[in-house]
Structure 1
């Protein structure tokens, strides 16, 4: 008997516009947004990478990068989100490529081997609990550092990466100085930065970062700004290309 994919009244199925790939999310929990999609497309991949996704949620980044990696492991603290991520992997026929583990990446040795990965993705909570209104439930954990701080995320990534391996992360520009220092303390050197602006006349609201484990401190490449919408409010050609024209 075929598996019943939708199992809860709050679940919905969305099209990832990637060869028929789909994702189940819950409307009463945190759903992925553009930042995860931009992050998935940020690092260049050869197809040989062993990939780790920290705080995978319902597994959107593994689903987006699976075709460009040798293998993907995904870690998620929330049992509900972890179960959804595992179900999404099965639904898309990717069980031989993607493994989902429920657990707390603040204790990396309990989840993965030291130095086992070539590339780590991290879309961590953006705001310390002292800043901004704290929402309820899984939305709060996704937006505020209730379950993992910036330092926790960087430590986990540094533990997971081999020397020369890369961390790809999306975060807030306002925390960039803190991010660079935290990465440096963990022997991660920032090599690429790209700011994301909602439109040309507004300040950046996201920054994409790539750092190398054990890399030299020199050689940072600050890439051209990625602009999301043009002057008419339409998505730019680059954003449309990232979404495969389906936006």
Structure 2
């Protein structure tokens, strides 16, 4: 187990020593989602719960959050992180499969759904021998289409879906979202640094009617040698000291 301890008031994040470990993508997703975060929030595939924890600090209008996780060990980490960082009434971890019609969360009641889905498609690319890492990277538990179907089911009528994916999967996102009656409202390309091609894209989706799509200014992740840009550094300071 690895913990990110901090000074008083900072988040303490517990996660597996080996296996799934959250990446900078979770930080980017939380920062992108925060302006749209109010009311009830659902995290599909919460892992150790990092996105909900960050949103609980970044979004004062967030009332409560539910993190659904299919892997028992990761769900236990999320439960511990929610309990130790509190307040307990706001964040709750649920072990379950959000693709199934089971009681993991109440349909049609969430104002925001967030997801940091696996980067690759099942059966594509190099396999990882560690089960947690394989599930996190190659979508063996959930396809993109299944993610959209679940989000559409759990969202309130005016709710939004926020996610981060490789930029190359953007056409797949457009097609998959359209099939469940959703469209892209906002997108923000993410570049490792100025001059580099976009590697990721942050997306905000909603039900299609009346939604206008707009592209936000790009996010350049690094400034200088190995240093995150101020926008990202500000969020990282929530769970580590930083300067």
Q: TM-score, normalised by structure 1?
A: 0.89
Residues 1:30 and 2:20 are matched in the alignment: yes
SS at match of 2:163: strand
The question of whether the paired residues in 2 share the 8 Å contact of 1:200 and 1:231 is answered with: no
> Equivalences for 1:72-151 in 2 at 5 Å?
72-136=65-129, 137-151=131-145
Which stretch of structure 1 is more off in the superposition, 136-145 or 104-113? Answer: 104-113
Work out which of the residue numbers 33, 42, 50 in structure 1 matches 2:32: 42
Rounded Cα–Cα distance in structure 1 between residues aligned with 2:124 and 2:234: 34
**Equivalent pair of 2:99/2:146 in contact (CA under 8 Å):** yes
Deviation at 1:223, TM superposition (A): 0.7
SS of the counterpart of 1:168? strand
Which runs of no fewer than 5 residues in structure 1 stay unpaired?
A: 1-10
Query: What's the offset of the Cα at 1:43?
Result: 2.3
> 8 Å contact 1:53–1:62 — kept in the other structure?
yes
CA distance in 2, matches of 1:130, 1:18: 44
Tell me, yes or no, if structure 1 residue 162 matches structure 2 residue 156: yes
The answer as to whether partners of 1:170 and 1:206 remain within 8 angstroms in 2 is: yes
Q: Rate the CA distance shift 1:148–1:193 in 2: closer, same or farther, 3 A.
A: same
> Is 2:236 aligned against 1:246?
no
1:213 Cα deviation (Å)?
2.6
Unaligned segments of structure 2, at least 5 residues: none
CA contact (8 A) 1:16 1:23 kept: no
- Normalising by structure 2, we get a TM-score of 0.90
Count of aligned residue pairs for this structure pair: 236
CA contact (8 A) 2:27 2:232 kept: no
Report the aligned-residue RMSD. 1.9
**CA deviation map 1:172-229 (0-9, x unaligned):** 1111011011111111121100011111121111110001134435x21101110011
Deviation, 1:237, is 2.5
In structure 2, how many angstroms separate the alpha carbons of the residues matched to 1:12 and 1:231? Answer: 28
**Deviations 1:150-173, CA, capped at 9 Å, x for gaps:** 011111111000111000000011
